[in-house]
């Protein structure tokens, strides 16, 4: 796994602990703008931007998806 999986707005909601899709969407857009991206950002790019451990974030998101 090279970190090429895209970070969705729903993923960002889970990471931020936020119920608002609009808030997460604005944050997603702000990160894309800061990275100079016009469409998608990967989980790896997000982790690099926020200085987070990729393995931890990846595991957290996978756990959230498996418990739905």
Q: What is the pLDDT of residues 15-66, one digit of tens each?
A: 999 999 999 999 999 999 999 999 899 999 999 999 999 999 999 999 877 7
**Distances from the Cα of 53 to the Cα of 21, 37, 38, 64, 68, angstroms:** 24, 21, 24, 17, 24
Percent of the chain predicted with pLDDT > 70: 93
Q: What is the pTM of this model?
A: 0.85
CA dist 14 and 35 (Å) reads: 21
Three-class secondary structure of residue 62 per DSSP: helix
Write down the domain spans for the chain.
9-66
């Amino acid at each position: 796994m090279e970190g090429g999986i895209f970070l969705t707005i729903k993923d960002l909601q889970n990471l931020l602990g936020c119920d608002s899709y609009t808030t997460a969407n604005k944050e997603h857009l702000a990160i894309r703008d800061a990275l100079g991206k016009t469409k998608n950002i990967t989980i790896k790019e997000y982790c690099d931007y926020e200085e987070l451990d990729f393995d931890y974030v990846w595991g957290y998101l996978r756990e959230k998806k498996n418990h739905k």
